[in-house]
Amino acid sequence: MPLKPVSCTQDPLPPASFTPARLLLCHHGTPGAAAAAALALRIAQPGYTDLIHCLVVPDLWGGMQGDDWLNNASTRDAFGDYVEKLLEGDARRELAVVEGEARARGIAWRPLLRYGDPAREVLAVAAAERPDLVVMGPPRRKGESGLRSRLDLEQLVRGLSCPLLIAPRP
């Protein structure tokens, strides 16, 4: 029997015991990402926090030409370009939404667009940017719609050297 989600508190905000100077918001297009963005924007302090917005395009797209062998190279190139533009467009739209919110609140915002395995890429960004806090959305429940590009939470937690905050399910 699936476990029912337990609500820990009425207010999803953690106690504001510290304000991160560098906050890494992880976001790779899942529905929980919006909750993570909202939480990150509430935690970030205008004029103090640098909000680094890391968006990972999952590497499942690398296998999206599958085992096609009948098409000409030009058709495959056209498909590759088309998918690349689609993904870039989707990513830029998602970035723009958070950017708008951050700018409106006067929070310094910086995007980082990466391609690869989500957990590995977040770890790489965290190692390079050295954030004080990482914020991300909750993993999707089984059966929920959307692309299956689950981030390996255990790998991320084992590799991170800073606190990780997971936004509650919206």
- 5-24: b (≥16 Cβ within 10 Å) or e: eeeeeeeeeeeeeeebebbb
Q: Which is nearer to another protein, 19 or 71 (CB)?
A: 71
For residues 170 and 155, give the distance between their C-alpha atoms in angstroms, rounded to a whole number. 24
93 sits near another protein (criterion: CB under 8 A)? no
Q: DSSP string of 42-88?
A: HHS-TTT-EEEEEEEEEGGGGGTTTT--SS-HHHHHHHHHHHHHHHH
111 sits near another protein (criterion: CB under 8 A)? no
Q: Which is nearer to another protein, 67 or 154 (CB)?
A: 67
76 sits near another protein (criterion: CB under 8 A)? yes
How many chain residues are in contact with another protein, going by CB under 8 A?
30
Which one of 18, 19, 46, 83 is in contact with another protein (CB under 8 A)? 83
* Positions in the binding site for another protein (CB under 8 A): 58-72, 74-76, 78-79, 82-83, 86-87, 90, 145-149
